[in-house]
Chains A and B, each alone.
Chain A
Amino acid sequence: MDNLSLFIAIPAAVAFLIPIVSHRLKWFPDVSSSVITFILFLFSLETLNHQCIYQMGGWPAPIGIIFVLDGFSSMMLIIVNLIGFMACLFSVDYMEKIYTSKLRYYSLLLLVITGMNGVILTGDLFNMFIFLEIALIASYALVGFGCGSKDLEASFKYLVINMIATYFIFLGIALLYGRFATLNMAHIVTSIQQYGTDSVVIFAFVLFFVGFGTKAAIVPFHAWVPDAYTAAPAPVSALLAGGIIKSLGIYVLMRLTYNVFGMSQVIANLFVYFGIASIIIGALMALGQWNFKRLLAYHSISHMGYIILGFGLGSPLGILGGVFHLFNHSLFKSLLFFNSGSVEYETGNLNLRKLGRLSEKMPVTSVSSLIAFFSTSGIPPFNGFWSKLIIIIAAIQAGRPFSALWAVIGSILTLAYFAKIQRYVFFGNGDKFDESQVKDIKEVPSLMRVSLIILAVLCTIGGLLAIGGVNGVFGPVVNALAGGTNQYIGEVFGK
């Protein structure tokens, strides 16, 4: 899989093919998007343990545009394309019943995947900005897809906050270009090493931190998350939580911090403090929510805190914890959003007070949400336990016992609010629950069930990936980040 441009060309081509062809062939959007995302997922599996550089038009690195594939980007490609595939499978029946106009929906969804793949692969700051815009503009439209008053309001709020962040990033890129006259990230590293870090570089980093922090839903910049997640269709919420905030936010922030600007004690402290704030504030806000999806949105903020904390520790074990938790979080978070989508599909309702006793009627949804619940709150055999354990051990090893303590407290709070979901939705019932509403409720259609089951199985066996620790499956990722700036230059320009 050396031709990395296929990750961008295929979904973009199909995204524009769908509106043209679908007027004649009604089945085309469903089938083509699922098949294409599955093919992309297979391609991304092939990139595992593989390193290469793709030069656009054969021009070498500082002059031409390049795509860089290393351990971290290949892991992110797998996550993004897996979640994209699951979202497409889930959408087939879900969009049929609740929304209209499938062809526009799939078109936009594939454009989001295009943008995310582009951001992950690119080795050039301005291209990153362009792919960011592609993914974001499509996702603004997807969040407001229902066109109800609440959807539009959430979409506008999401748009305003993220556009401010985007222009901050753009200004940062312009400043770096003005300082070093280059856009290639590896070339910027060599320039920083040559000329040293001055106030322009620091200011650009601050702009990048605010910009990508907004996209990564770190706490002071998180205001768009609850509204956007609540208003979006369930597969889009899953893609937002499992793909967009990770690839556009965390991935780029970590790539810039570790491989371009270089990790330092100040940045590490920044990440750890923002991470702890996200964990605690997200968990506390989630406790008081009565809307299924809004609760999941705050849960997402809380878990982005764990990921930032893991990366901020700076040691290889901390990076391993961060990456592993990023992987696990995208699995169980998408599963939870699919569960909320199934509940909405059958009952047309997401208010916890009005739901109840769905465990007998919807066994697959109930069991899969139970697995996601165990996994996210850190019950031993499931994947979430191992990644949280690694983060906590890494925090203690890095000499930050209080961070470890806050992480444990956040985990207990997670257990509390997920017990609330299980109690009100699946096993018990809320105070405004009406028995007559749930009489003719069935399990969701088979394609939706398939995506629920696949993700639940992955959550159950995902803990096995921790075997081998720093040298295991996530070894290339840890090496790519822990190698720092010099390794990145070596990767791009060749030794």
Chain B
Amino acid sequence: MVYTLCFILFVIGLYGVTCKKNIVKIILGFLIMEYSVNLFLILLGWRKNGVVPIVEPNTVMEYFKTMSVDPLPQAMVLISIVTGLGTLILMVALAIRLYQRYGTFDITEMNRLKK
């Protein structure tokens, strides 16, 4: 159920990217897409009342195996947030430069390549 909601969030982001005409809204669409996948990954590793995935001398291994949280998705999400930040900065920089050149954020008016 939660996974379905993640997927719906992804599709909302896709809708924002493909159907909106304002560059800022397109960028927001990308953010929604990225966060939906990140959320999905985090939920994959999540367990209700889970324990920290660190083995200590007095840890009961049977309990640990069933209850520990998966740490790998968290590392992946961390990296994905960093790359997402890099792309976001590039997108915003491009948007500012485009605004300087065209005087608008509307992508339908940016059609000098076709002329």
By a beta-carbon cutoff of 8 Å, the part of chain A in contact with chain B is: 126, 129-130, 133, 137, 140-141, 144, 147-150, 152-156, 159-160, 163-164, 167, 170-171, 174, 177-178, 181, 183, 227, 230-231
Contacts and interface: CB of A to CB of B under 8 A. Distances in A.
Nearest to A134: B83
Contacts of A137: 83, 86-87, 90
Given A149-B101, A230-B113, A144 B87 contact: no
Given A149-B112, A167-B34, A130 B102 contact: no
Contact of B44 (A140, A171, A174): A174
A434 to B, nearest CB: 21
Nearest to A227: B113
Contacts of B97: 144, 147, 152
A171 B17 contact: no
Given A137-B87, A156-B23, A174 B94 contact: no
B26 interface: yes
A15 to B, nearest CB: 14
A122 to B, nearest CB: 14
A144 B80 contact: no
A443 B96 CA distance: 39
Nearest to A226: B113
Nearest to A169: B37
Contacts, number: 84
Interface residues of B, number: 36
Nearest to B83: A133
A349 to B, nearest CB: 16
B41 A144 contact: no
The 8 A-B residue pairs with the shortest CB-CB distance, nearest first, are: A149-B101, A133-B83, A178-B44, A167-B33, A153-B110, A170-B37, A174-B41, A152-B98
B37 A171 contact: yes
B30 A163 contact: yes
Interface in B13-27: 13-14, 17-18, 23, 26
Q: Which of B33, B70, B107 has the most CB of A within 10 A?
A: B33
Contacts of A147: 97
Contacts of B111: 153
9 contacts: A144-B94, A153-B112, A156-B23, A164-B17, A167-B10, A167-B13, A167-B30, A174-B40, A178-B44
A133 B73 CA distance: 18
Contact of B102 (A149, A167, A174): A149
Contacts of A231: 113
B44 A160 contact: no
Interface string B75-115: 01001100100110011001101100110000100111100
B83 A154 contact: no
B86 A126 contact: no
Nearest to A153: B110
A160 to B, nearest CB: 6
A141 B73 contact: no
A261 to B, nearest CB: 21
Nearest to A157: B113
A160 B17 contact: yes
Contacts of B73: 177
B38 to A, nearest CB: 9
A159 B91 contact: yes
Contacts of A141: 90
A177 B44 contact: yes
Contacts of B94: 140, 144, 152, 155-156, 159
Contacts of B40: 171, 174, 178
B75 to A, nearest CB: 9
Given A160-B17, A227-B113, A152 B101 contact: yes
A297 to B, nearest CB: 12
A177 B23 CA distance: 33
Contacts of A148: 101
A222 to B, nearest CB: 15
A231 B113 CA distance: 9
B112 A130 contact: no
A451 B95 CA distance: 36
A153 B90 contact: no
Q: Which of B17, B83, B111 has the most CB of A within 10 A?
A: B83
Contacts of B26: 160
B14 A153 contact: no
